[in-house]
Structure 1
Amino acid sequence: MNGGAPTGRAATREARTGRAPTGPWDVWSDCTPDCATHGLPKAPLTHTARRGAAFAHAVRRALTDGGRMADPVRLTAHARALIAALGIRREGAADGFTVPAGGPGTLIVVNHISWLDIPALLAVEPVTLLAKREVGGWPVVGGLARRAGTYFIDRSDPRRLPDTVGELTGLLASGRSVAVFPQATTWCTADQGSFRRATFQAALDAGAPVRPVTIDYTQGGRPGTVAAFCGEDTFVASLRRVLAARALAVRVTAHPALTGEGRDRRELAALAERAVLGGRRPSGLPEVPAPRPAPEPAAHQHV
């Protein structure tokens, strides 16, 4: 491993972001705050102010709930209220995407674009979230995530990885469904990045199904990047863009469930990545067999 100055793409990323890699576990995205742009003229200031007031009210109600916020029904209601307060229209999955109860929970693997991904997911189904420790310190979102029962992990020490996989295995084996962001960082669109494989080992060890889910954002019915939260962006700057965005919608698309039968974590991660990122085959990976059909989940509120 080269221990000197960064070269190639690493040097370009450092020049663009002002950040140097912290080690082999640092996850890079080529996206920066400049990627987040309005696809339509901004909403009038009066609309932005009303949305801001409604969002602040929804946040206060959620935080006031304290530990009760983790109740599945209340959690979904708060998530929907937050999305609605921002003037965002919800599209796509509406009835949940976990495999019916009676066995292990479902590992839900999702692409990562924005802090909005969290309430967008919870608005569909109140699953347990697995997030990096830093999310717990984010303004507003951190407090909401903690009260929602999010399971935080420390990515700074690679020696913790086996323990994290073991703990995730235990959660799934106990029947709890867990949503993870295998890209480990955000991208401005839903067709970029690649999946890390560690969490897929937990699904294999627990005998848990994997549900690929795609989140994407549109403005006026066309793909847009205004919701992206990338690079050195700040929550305040991102929130201002979202509040001023016209005709913003979030779509949550649940793909057929995958099983680990006859597959290792490499193949399972490749199949999930291909489904989530829009049919793109991950670079450097061989073609793998198409996933076997899986029954569509029944509508329920099981976590």
Structure 2
Amino acid sequence: MSAWLPTAPCTPGTCVGPRPAARALPRAVLRLTAVAVLLLAGVAVVLTPLRTRVPAVLVRRWCRWTVRAAGVRVRVTGAAPPEGGLLLVANHVSWLDIPLLAAVRPARMLAKSEVRRWPVAGPLAARAGVLFLERDRLRALPGTVAAVARALRTGAAVAVFPEGSTWCGRARGRFSRAVFQAALDAEVPVQPVRIRYWSGERAVGTAAAFVGEDTLLASLWRVASVRGLTAEVEVRPVLPPGRHHDRRTLAAAAGPEHGHPGEAHSKSMRTL
């Protein structure tokens, strides 16, 4: 791994709570079955050769249903522009962040190039319009930024996690600047989104964290087993083009340092 790549100190052993009790087995099986059914339905739509464009509202609902099926309540504040080129940027805690962002506005994801080589998931991601980033090749970065800018100019939304790595939710990283150049080049707004996970009303929940050497299977099981997990999605004010003239100030304005993950969350939210 290249030394310039962003990393997080979070690990399952130090950041994630204890394993779920055996009595959570029936609940977890039921939830994972519901998630599997919804995922299969989504895959069927993606693989349909003559599929028509799925309305954005249905995509958003499907993403919310998938998260809810896993046993996670969703609270959303704010809204993103419904159309036009838009760079969605969010902090990164969990694989749940992906459907949560799509629930705000369906978008083309920017993912690491390794995803393209995954069996089944890789071809599906490519077919769904995912943009791939070769993280270990610094020379490939300008080409990736140019590809994102081209997508933005077509009126698409592109979703990015600029921290470059997942964090547990109690700690967070800084937003890297490179991808913000795409928004500047395409002259489109940037939509910051803050994602937090809560256990109960006040405690930051780490059960959803997908960090370090954690496996996707272990993370899925942990999320489906736990009780009382809530995902809070705060859609912050959009940053219009022209307000910030370089990627450093734009990244700073959109970054997670403009708020604290442990701050009390608002009561005026939609619960889904």
Q: TM-score range by the shorter chain?
A: 0.7 to 0.9
Distance 2:22 2:152 in 1: 43
SS of 1:198's equivalent in the other structure is: coil
Considering only aligned residues, what root-mean-square deviation do their CA atoms show, in Å? 2.7
| Whole-angstrom distance in 2 between the partners of 1:205 and 1:66 | 31
Name the structure 2 match of 1:62.
Answer: 42
Aligned equivalents of 1:247 and 1:145: distance in 2?
31
Corresponding residue SS for 1:152: strand
Structure 1 residue 237 corresponds to structure 2 residue 218: yes
Q: CA separation in 2, counterparts of 1:62 and 1:29?
A: 32
CA 1:73–1:143 in 2, change beyond 3 Å: closer, same or farther? farther
Where structure 1 has 5 or more consecutive residues not aligned to the other structure, the ranges are 1-21, 281-303
Q: Residues of 1 paired with 2:120 and 2:60: CA distance?
A: 17
Structure 1 equivalent of residue 168 of structure 2:
188
State the distance in 2 between where 1:262 and 1:61 align.
Answer: 41
2:71 to 62, 78, 87: 87
SS for the counterpart of 1:65 is helix
Q: What residue is the counterpart of 2:237 in the other structure?
A: 256
CA drift of 1:185 comes to 0.7
Secondary structure of 1:231's counterpart equals coil
Deviation at 1:106, TM superposition (A): 1.3
Looking at structure 2, the residues matched to 64 and 24 of structure 1 have their Cα atoms a distance apart, in angstroms, of: 40
Aligned length: 255
Deviation, structure 1 residue 212 = 0.9
Distance 1:256 1:73, change over 3 A: closer
1:7 paired residue number: none
Distance 1:135-1:179 versus aligned 2 partners, 3 A rule: same
Decide whether aligned partners of structure 1 residues 51 and 191 sit closer, same or farther in structure 2, where only a CA change above 3 A counts. same
Partner of 1:272: 254
Query: Identity over aligned residues, as a percent?
Result: 42
Q: Structure 1 140/251 Cα, relative in aligned 2: closer, same or farther at 3 Å?
A: farther
Where does residue 47 of structure 1 map in the other structure? 27
Distance (Å, rounded) in 2 between the aligned partners of 1:234 and 1:165: 29
Measured against aligned partners, the alpha-carbon deviations of 1:160-210 in whole angstroms (never above 9, x if no partner) come to 111111111111122111111100110001651111101111111111111
Q: Which residue of 2 aligns with 1:9?
A: none
Aligned twin of 1:203: 183
2:60 to 76, 97, 107: 76
Report the structure number with the largest CA radius of gyration. Answer: 1
Q: Does structure 2 retain, via aligned residues, the 8 Å contact 1:70–1:147? A: no
Q: Is the 8 A contact 2:199 2:205 kept in 1?
A: yes
Question: Residues of 1 paired with 2:69 and 2:120: CA distance?
Answer: 14
1:123 Cα deviation (Å)?
2.1
> In structure 2, what residue type is equivalent to 1:232?
E
The aligned counterpart of 1:134 is 114
Q: 1:138 to 1:223 in 2, by over 3 A?
A: farther
**TM-score (ref. length: structure 1):** 0.75
